[in-house]
């Protein structure tokens, strides 16, 4: 082809150094870190499988019986120890737990989030709050619930406080980051017109971050629904999670777990669909 001739003639112009082997991959910090991260994770996983505590388990048999269980669960669900209305009511109890903890968490997080936003306070206050919030987040929710349960007794009070703790830490991070994205010019303009801190917060900061805040809060509600189920099972918080725990640990009824799972799935998928809507909004506005 004509094109090729052109290119070969161009080749002759090049200095001889280029005639030697040409590498195409370049080693950057990013590619080195990516590769080492992947290798380390792979090695740790292999080591994990070797060191697992298998407890004389016949893995093949266990897998097969799990398949049988899943089949029974999803294809032959039934309710024996609970009525349909009871299960439905318990789903609402779980939703109620999720709602309360999200609401309390959101209210507290708005104030802490304002204090944690670097552009609204100062660096010291901000990093102090962000630090304590990271600390709270590091403790698994169930441990918070159990710790509060010693003082408040097992039940919804401990569950709500423990779950609220985690919601606060999650939402403070989300809120403060969206506050920090606010254009500094807006704050300056209001300051110049003589507005005080609270006026700036309520007239500029919160209105412009509102869509973000609503989306994040809903995402947390979705998470809290799942957490509330787990707390029902592991920390006596009541709701559908507790029924699931009973079906699994006391009645040993896999089909009943199946029925309960269907309830949970229905609500969770519904919430996820709404959350995706909110998230799309986040993207459009961001």
Partner 1 sequence: MQADYFEKKKRSTRLFLAILGVVTVISIIITEYNVVKGFSSLPKAVEWGLANFYPTQESLTKLPAILDKLIETLLVSIAATTTGAVMALLFAILGSNTTRVNAFFGSISRGIATIFRNIDVAAWAMILLFSFGQSSLTGYFALFFGSFGFLTRAFVETIDEVSGSSVEALQATGAGYFSIIFQSVIPSSLPQMISWILFMIETNIRSATLIGLLTGSGIGFTFNLYYKSLNYDVASLVVVVIIVAILFIESVSNYVRRAVL
Partner 2 sequence: MTALLEVNHVSKQFGSDTKALSDVNFSVNEGEFVSIIGPSGAGKSTLLRCINRMIDATSGEIIFDNMNVMNLKKKDLKKVRTKIGMIFQHYNLVNRLSVIENTLHGNLGKKSTLAGVLGLYSQEEKEQAVNILHVLGLDEHIYKRADQLSGGQKQRVGIARALIQDPRMLLCDEPIASLDPNSAKIIMDHLRNISTKLGITVLVNLHQVDVALKYSDKIIGVNHGQVVYNGSPKDITKEDIQLIYGSEAEDLIFDVGGIHAS
Structure tokens at 21: 């082997």
Which does residue 39 bind out of partner 1, partner 2, none, counting CB within 5 to 8 angstroms by kind?
A: none
Q: How far is CA 200 from CA 75, 187, 207, 208, in A?
A: 57, 7, 10, 11
Report the first-to-last Cα separation within the chain, whole angstroms.
50
Total residues at the site for partner 2 (CB under 8 A)?
A: 19
Which does residue 15 bind out of partner 2, partner 1, none, counting CB within 5 to 8 angstroms by kind?
A: none
The answer to whether the CB of 133 falls within 8 A of the CB of 173 is: yes
Q: Compute the least distance from the CB of residue 125 to partner 1, in Å.
A: 21
Distant-in-sequence, close-in-space partners of 54: CB < 8 Å, separation ≥ 6: none
Nearer to partner 1, 119 or 248 (CB): 248
CA atoms of 144 and 234, how far apart (whole Å): 12
Nearer to partner 1, 107 or 189 (CB): 107
* Binding residue for partner 1, selected from 105, 113, 236, 239, defined by CB under 8 A: 239
Q: Tell me which residue of 267, 262, 263, 258 sits closest to 221, measured CA to CA.
A: 267
Please give the residues from 23 up to 82 whose contact with partner 1 meets the rule CB under 8 A: 29-30, 33-34, 37-38, 41-42, 44-45, 47-49, 51-55, 57, 59, 62-63, 65-66, 69-70, 73
Please give the residues from 7 up to 66 whose contact with partner 2 meets the rule CB under 8 A: 7, 10-11, 13-14, 18-19, 21-22, 24-26, 28, 30
Look-up: residue for tokens 């994990």? Answer: 48
Q: Can residue 285 be called a binding residue for partner 1 (CB under 8 A)?
A: no
| Binding window for partner 1 (CB under 8 A); candidates: 3-11, 77-85, 176-184, 268-276 | 268-276
Which does residue 201 bind out of partner 2, partner 1, none, counting CB within 5 to 8 angstroms by kind?
A: none
Q: How far is CA 157 from CA 35, 66, 100, 152, 262, in A?
A: 47, 36, 11, 7, 27
| Binding window for partner 2 (CB under 8 A); candidates: 5-13, 52-60, 156-164, 259-267 | 5-13
Longest dimension (CA), the chain: 86
| Binding window for partner 2 (CB under 8 A); candidates: 2-10, 176-184, 211-219, 254-262 | 2-10
CA atoms of 156 and 94, how far apart (whole Å): 10
* Binding residue for partner 1, selected from 254, 255, 256, 259, defined by CB under 8 A: 254
Nearer to partner 2, 7 or 134 (CB): 7
Q: Tell me which residue of 273, 169, 178, 262 sits closest to 219, measured CA to CA.
A: 273
Distance, CA of 207 to chain centre: 25
Structure tokens at 150: 């010693």
From the CB of residue 128, how many other CB atoms can be counted at a distance below 10 Å?
13
* Binding residue for partner 1, selected from 7, 88, 210, 269, defined by CB under 8 A: 269
Which does residue 69 bind out of partner 2, partner 1, none, counting CB within 5 to 8 angstroms by kind?
A: partner 1
Binding residues (CB under 8 A) for partner 2: these are: 1-4, 6-7, 10-11, 13-14, 18-19, 21-22, 24-26, 28, 30
């Amino acid at each position: 082809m004509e094109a090729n001739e052109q290119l070969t003639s161009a080749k002759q112009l090049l200095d001889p150094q280029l005639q030697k082997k040409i590498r195409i991959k370049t080693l950057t910090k990013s590619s080195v870190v990516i590769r080492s991260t992947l290798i380390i994770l792979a090695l740790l996983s292999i080591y994990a499988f070797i060191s697992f505590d298998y407890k004389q388990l016949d893995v093949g048999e266990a897998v097969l019986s799990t398949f049988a269980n899943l089949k029974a669960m999803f294809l032959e669900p039934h309710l024996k120890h609970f009525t349909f209305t009871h299960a439905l009511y318990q789903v609402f109890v779980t939703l109620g737990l999720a709602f309360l903890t999200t609401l309390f968490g959101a209210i507290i997080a708005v104030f802490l989030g304002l204090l944690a936003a670097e552009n609204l306070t100062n660096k010291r206050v901000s990093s102090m709050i962000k630090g304590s919030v990271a600390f709270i987040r590091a403790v698994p929710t169930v441990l918070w619930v159990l710790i509060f349960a010693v003082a408040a007794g097992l039940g919804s009070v401990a569950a709500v406080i423990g779950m609220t703790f985690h919601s606060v830490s999650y939402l403070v991070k989300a809120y403060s980051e969206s506050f920090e994205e606010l254009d500094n010019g807006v704050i300056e303009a209001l300051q110049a017109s003589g507005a005080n801190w609270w006026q700036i917060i309520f007239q500029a900061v919160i209105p412009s971050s509102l869509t973000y805040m609503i989306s994040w809060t809903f995402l947390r509600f979705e998470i809290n629904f799942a957490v509330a189920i787990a707390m029902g099972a592991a920390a006596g918080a009541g709701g559908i999670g507790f029924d699931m725990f009973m079906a699994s640990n006391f009645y040993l009824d896999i089909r009943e777990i199946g029925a309960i799972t269907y309830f949970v799935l229905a609500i969770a998928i519904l919430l996820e669909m709404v959350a995706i809507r909110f998230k799309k909004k986040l993207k459009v506005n961001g």
